[in-house]
Amino acid sequence: MQIYRTRNRLFMIMETTDSFTFQAKSKADAGNPKVQEWENLMWKYQQALPGSPPGEKWKLMDKIFEL
């Protein structure tokens, strides 16, 4: 079990390969119309953290617990 936190938000477990980078994922997501459609829909239900740059809702989180 892993628990992550940023401000008052908890969550996020992500399994990837060793070659994964958030930069490559962001670039691939930006060029994928289905991902962009999903992201636009999700903005209706999600909120950015206070102080986040415009359009940014995903944040790296600090691991606070691992079992």
Question: What pLDDT digit, counting tens, does each position of 36-53 carry?
Answer: 998 899 888 888 888 888
Q: Letter for the amino acid at 32?
A: N
pLDDT surpassing 90 at residue 3? no
How wide is the angle at C-alpha 60 spanned by C-alphas 58 and 64, nearest 5°? 130
pTM: 0.56
Task: With both helix axes pointing from N to C terminus, report the angle between 22-30 and 33-42 in degrees, rounded to the nearest 10.
Answer: 100
What local confidence, expressed as pLDDT, does residue 67 receive? 67
CA atoms within 13 A on the CB side of 8: 4
What local confidence, expressed as pLDDT, does residue 1 receive? 67
First to last CA, the chain: 5
